Amino acid sequence: MTTTRLSGYARLPRAYHASHIVHSTVDAQGRAHWLLTEEPPDRHRTDPYDALVVTVEDGRPRETRLSAVGPPYAVFDALPDGGFLVAAPRSDPGEDQVQVFDALGRCSWTFRVGDGIEDLLVDSSGDIWAGYFDEGIYGDDALSAPGLRRWSSTGDPLWAHAPGPGHDYISDCYALNVGAKAVWACPYTDFPLLEIRGDRVVSARKNPVHGAGALAVHGDRVVFLGPYGDDRSVLVDCRLTGNAVEPVARGRLVRPDGTRLERRPRTVCRGPRLYVQAEPFTEWTVLDLAAG
């Protein structure tokens, strides 16, 4: 099996390694971020706490201190205006699980987007894309029931997935890619490759690659990471036709030094870029289809 090496992308400076990493991401502008706390996350914690976001851009770090963060376990992303979005993946009806912080680290908005968040990604315009897993979709929560939704940065619902030609209801949004011009999703149960532009699904291609947790798209090429039946480092390279995904080759994605990835690395998918982060989550690597 051929191997494809990831490239180094961004590192958390060693001065912060004693802190606890709550979450980490790469935003729509390509900046890497780490959400850090002094104490380890505690799911039983109910009191707000302060956190530190370390942003690395072009190798240079900067800090943003967030005050009164709510979720002890959180996913987060950056907003185009320099602020941040922090959210609890699980929530109950009536519970504001999302906090929007301004560039000075002050909470300016709270709202709810539904239970069972699998992926939460902000696009280049500042809208929020949420993909949900099965417990949220089938848990009697109307907000997460569609499986994939777009929200404004102030919590206004902008779009929700609905069945259409070639795609049924979403039972679990396995993979989500939020690019500059399109959003791509690969949902359970039949794993069609959905191409979303504006407020509609413009294409639902039949896809024989089932169970992948991440994908990258460039032109008529798409790669899937970690399909069913394989460890999570297997890469399936495919060609896009008008109505289908056609596998071309299979290989293995490895670290920049050639060593194997762990079974379930953390991933962020942004158009042609597949960002990958393995334990201890202090470094982001990248596979960039646009780089050739």
If one counts the domains in the chain, the total is: 1
Tens-digit pLDDT profile for residues 116-144: 999 999 999 999 999 999 999 999 899 99
pLDDT at residue 39 in the model: 86
Whether 286 has a pLDDT exceeding 70, the answer reads: yes
Write out the chain in H/E/C secondary structure.
Answer: CEEEECEEEEECCHHHCCCEEEEEEECCCCCEEEEEECCCCCCCCCCCEEEEEEEEECCEEEEEEEEEECCCCCEEEECCCCCEEEECCCCCCCCCCEEEECCCCCEEEEECCCCCEEEEEECCCCCEEEEECHHHHCCCCCCCCCCEEEECCCCCEEEECCCECCECCCCEEEEEEECCCCEEEEEECCCCEEEEECCEEEEEEECCCCCCCEEEEECCEEEEECCCCCCCCEEEEEEECCCEEEEEEEEEEECCCCCECCCCCEEEEECCEEEEECCCCCEEEEEEHHHC
What is the arithmetic mean of pLDDT over 263-284?
94
What is the predicted pLDDT for the residue at 177? 98
pLDDT in tens, 17-40: 999 999 999 999 999 999 999 988
Domain that holds residue 262: 2-291
**Model pLDDT, residue 230:** 64
CB 205 within 8 A of CB 245: yes
pLDDT of residue 263 exceeding 80, the answer is: no
> Quick check: 84 pLDDT over 80?
yes
User: Which CATH number does the domain housing residue 116 bear?
Assistant: 2.130.10
**Which tokens is 196 given?**
């979303």
pLDDT digits (tens, 9 = 90+) for 54-66: 999 999 999 999 9
Q: Tell me the per-residue pLDDT of 136-175, one tens digit each, with 9 for 90 and over.
A: 999 989 999 999 999 999 999 999 999 999 999 999 999 9
Phi-psi region of 30 (alpha: psi -120 to 50; beta: other; left: phi over 0): left
